[in-house]
Every structure is written in C-alpha cells, then in structure tokens.
Amino acid sequence: MPELKIAPSILASDFSRLGEEIRAVIDAGADWIHVDVMDGHFTPNITIGPPVVAALRQHCSVPMDVHLMITDPDAYIKDFADAGADIISFHVEAAKHPHRTISRIKELGCQAGIVLNPGTSHDDIEFLVDSVDMVLIMTVNPGFGGQSFIPEMVRKIQYVRAMLGDRDLEVDGGIDATTARTVIDAGANVLVAGSYVYRNPSYFDAIESLKTANV
C-alpha cells in the first residue's frame, strides 16, 4: 500500500481567507491541498479558476491537487498547469479522448489523475489505468461538499486498487474518521476531506484522526 496522505478540500474553507486557510491545514499536517474546480456545466455549481489557483500557489508548500469537474478539461489543463498545479485530475465522463488528455497533462509536467463518478464503472478505465499516476474515486456525486458517503463505492475501491498496484488511489466525498477506516481497508491511500477538516474546531485533531483511522 502506498503512503497514506490527507488532502483537505478548500471547498469547505472560508473563501474570504483562502491563503490563511491553506497555511492552517498545512501546519496541521495536510499532505496535499485539494482544489475543486467546477464550471456550472459538468457540475451544478461554480467554484474557482486558474487565476485563483495561481494566487494560492504561494501559500501552498505541499502539492496542489487540482480536481477538474468541468466539461472540457483539454481546454483548461495548460492554464491550471501554468497556475502551479502539481496534480491535475479530470473526469473520464468529460474527456472525449481521455488517453490524449492524460498525455497532455504529463507533457505539461504535472501528474495525471483520472476520476470516476459514482455511477461510472471501473471497467471504463481498464485501458487507461496503466498511463495514470492516480485514480480518484468519487464517493459522492460531484458538485457540493457535505454530502453522505455512498457505501457501494467500497467495492469499486477494491477493484481499482487491484488494477493500480502501488500507485495513488484517492477518494473524495463524505470522508470522516469512520468512513476513512472503511476506504483505507478497501485500498484507498489519499483521502480528500472538506467539511470534516474545515468544520472541525481543531484542524490538527481532524487530520490526525484521519491519519490514525487505520491503526
């Protein structure tokens, strides 16, 4: 199993103090910062774009994990790479030629992740998985923080772990100390957590409880 990493999602942070909120979770032990990009087309919500990522880069001393929930990832990956993204993940449901999108992300010097919506089978990435650095399994439907973990995703995590070997398998949505234990047991090693971290009075306690969920 690759190393366990905690990636707080800034979607649940105080948007009026984004830089400060990023530094605070890094000081509390965050391994990556997860940035949720929504376009109002692929998702029923709009969040942030490349200029904001560029502005936040200077506050972020750990890898920036950019999750594109947008209909046309190819049109924007260069902008996010230029803005300072370290990992760029896109939805297999959104890309016309996902294998090409993976190559472009790597050519831009970033790590490439592919994302599966809850309704998408692991079979859809069978012929892509050898090319990616990471698979992200959505454990809620994309669009909003604070939703409940979908238990059927546990089986998908097991399937994808078997396909991935020792590369990163990230999960996103409804992660708290209880679901963290379940997904780690199933094979996940990168845990995105928005509400659980940012709504906790102690970011340190929240991150620590996720890190020790498998002990």
Rounded to whole angstroms, what are the CA distances from 146 to 13, 49, 113, 152, 206? Answer: 12, 21, 23, 18, 15
- Could you give the CA distance from residue 14 to residue 20 in angstroms, rounded to a whole number? 9
Q: In b/e form, how buried is each residue of 76-94, taking b as 16+ CB within 10 angstroms?
A: bbeebbebbbbbbbbbbbb
Query: Would you say 119 or 165 has its CB closer to ligand DX5?
Result: 119
Query: Can residue 39 be called a binding residue for Zn ion (CB under 5 A)?
Result: no
Catalytic annotation present for 36: yes
Segment 61-120, which members bind Zn ion (CB under 5 A)? Answer: 67
Query: Would you say 147 or 214 has its CB closer to ligand DX5?
Result: 147
Catalytic annotation present for 172: yes
Query: Would you say 73 or 142 has its CB closer to ligand DX5?
Result: 142
Binding region for ligand DX5 (CB under 6 A): 9, 11-12, 34, 36, 67, 140, 142-143, 145-147, 172-175, 192-196
Query: Can residue 36 be called a binding residue for Zn ion (CB under 5 A)?
Result: yes
Q: Which residues are catalytic?
A: 36, 172
Contact set with Zn ion (CB under 5 A): 36, 67, 172
